Homo-oligomer: A and B are copies of this chain.
Amino acid sequence: MAKLNCFVAQSGGPTVAINSSLAGVIKGVADSEMYDTIYGSVNGILGILDNRILNLSEKVPDDKELLCLKHTPAMYLGSCRYKLPDYHRDDSDYKRIFEQFKRYNIGAFFYIGGNDSMDTVLKLSEYGSLIGSDVKIIGIPKTVDNDLMVTDHTPGFGSAAKYVATSLLEIAHDTFIYAVKSVTIVEIMGRDAGWLTAASALARNGYNTAPHFIYLPEVPFDKDKFIEDAKEFLKTNNNLIVAISEGIRDKAGNYISAGDCVADHFGHKMLSGAGQALAEIVKEEIGVKVRSVEVNVLQRCAAHEASKTDLDEAFNSGHKAVELAEAGVTASMVTMTRSSNAPYTIEYGYARIAGIANEAKSVPVEWINERGNDVTAEMIDYLKPLIEGEVTLTYRDGIPVYMDVSHLKPGVLPVEKR
């Protein structure tokens, strides 16, 4: 029987590990008896629609290139934020996608992404089943937010968590040097889920107790308690460091933001974030030196501080997806189950996509302390293994060597008229 080919695409926001999953898929296809060529769809599902396709079996031919891909941040294949329409209402995209599957002799499609991408996996699976397609549709999870259901955790999160913990420790060293009272607010990504902010607790060690307070979006932020706690801390200490999720809200559910009354000189409202808002509160109510640090996009793309555990798990998840498709599984997402914490052991499996897409996993309230200003020991136990292990990048001229992504430039892969 002639071998079939595969499609793979990446979608949603960047992580450090999403190319490692792609490398796992490429290796999975290379190892497979059933599949021949792995084609990459550029800019998520849009690449299939627009016929912007890369032959990855040629572009990433050997272990050296695979390793470089594994170490490269963000999406080698580009991303998209495209949501497929309801196929009952408009099935034109679906027709085109399944035509493309035929044209490329596709046996399986792998979509690496977060919640929105799993929605695409669900819809394509349903439509495929409706038209009696044999193409296996498998989702491979990624997100720095760690908010996907069913799986113990999500590839991409561990590296972001390691970056946050390392940065927090370095900010602590930066902060401890002055013998004056100060407050530093560190704002971390997480609009609805506090996992990544919780990971700042991993910066604590024998001499560093920062972050001294941690606020997550899962419990309401109480301004009065915060001021009380901060004042109490500063009685006997100099440098207070506070980690907050960008998405913290008050009891009424409103985001803590300094921006609601602020307009710039063009008359625009300027939305400054929760960090700036807390800095203003400190200035007003406590009156010590204060600084707000926004951990920027690097928390999701700093491949130079990746977790080895994370990159390996991302790779294994990609490889597992190909094995699942070969075994006849479809309409599913790869999952990780933690079978033991000491030694840390992960088993790879899968779950039906229907129960995963469009749901989000929050931090359990039991893993936040009663005062609402810290995480519990259970949280630390859960997080610790995920940031273990370091990755040695190759450098040239003082900067890391990543994969050439010139194919993402406009015009390099032209859009095919439908």
Contact = CB atoms under 8 A, between A and B. Distances in A.
Interface of A: 14, 43, 46, 72-75, 78-81, 162, 165-167, 169-171, 173-174, 176-179, 202-203, 205-208, 236-238, 258, 260-266, 268, 270, 272, 276, 280, 283-284, 291, 293-298, 300-305, 307, 384, 387-390, 392-393, 395-400, 402, 404-406, 408-411
A388 B398 CA distance: 4
Contacts of A202: 397-399
Total copies of the chain: 2
A237 B409 contact: yes
A266 B280 CA distance: 8
A411 to B, nearest CB: 8
A30 to B, nearest CB: 24
A223 to B, nearest CB: 13
A162 to B, nearest CB: 6
Contacts of A79: 177-178
A73 B388 CA distance: 21
A297 B207 contact: no
Candidate in A75, A265, A296, A307 with the most chain B CB atoms within 10 angstroms? A296
A186 to B, nearest CB: 9
Given A178-B79, A399-B169, A266 B294 contact: no
A402 B173 contact: yes
A134 to B, nearest CB: 31
A207 B170 contact: no
Candidate in A178, A237, A399, A402 with the most chain B CB atoms within 10 angstroms? A399
B298 A398 contact: no
Nearest 4 CB-CB pairings of A with B: A387-B398, A261-B265, A174-B301, A79-B177
A384 B397 CA distance: 7
A296 B295 contact: yes
B297 A169 contact: no
B206 A301 contact: no
Contacts of A404: 206-207
Contacts of A305: 304-305
Contacts of A398: 162, 165, 202, 307, 384, 387-389
Contacts of A43: 177-179
25 contacts: A43-B177, A74-B170, A79-B177, A81-B178, A169-B399, A170-B302, A170-B400, A171-B298, A173-B301, A174-B301, A176-B408, A179-B408, A203-B399, A205-B399, A207-B404, A208-B405, A236-B411, A258-B270, A261-B264, A266-B284, A268-B283, A270-B272, A304-B305, A384-B398, A387-B397
B264 A262 contact: yes
Nearest to A393: B390
A264 B279 CA distance: 12
Contacts of A162: 398-399
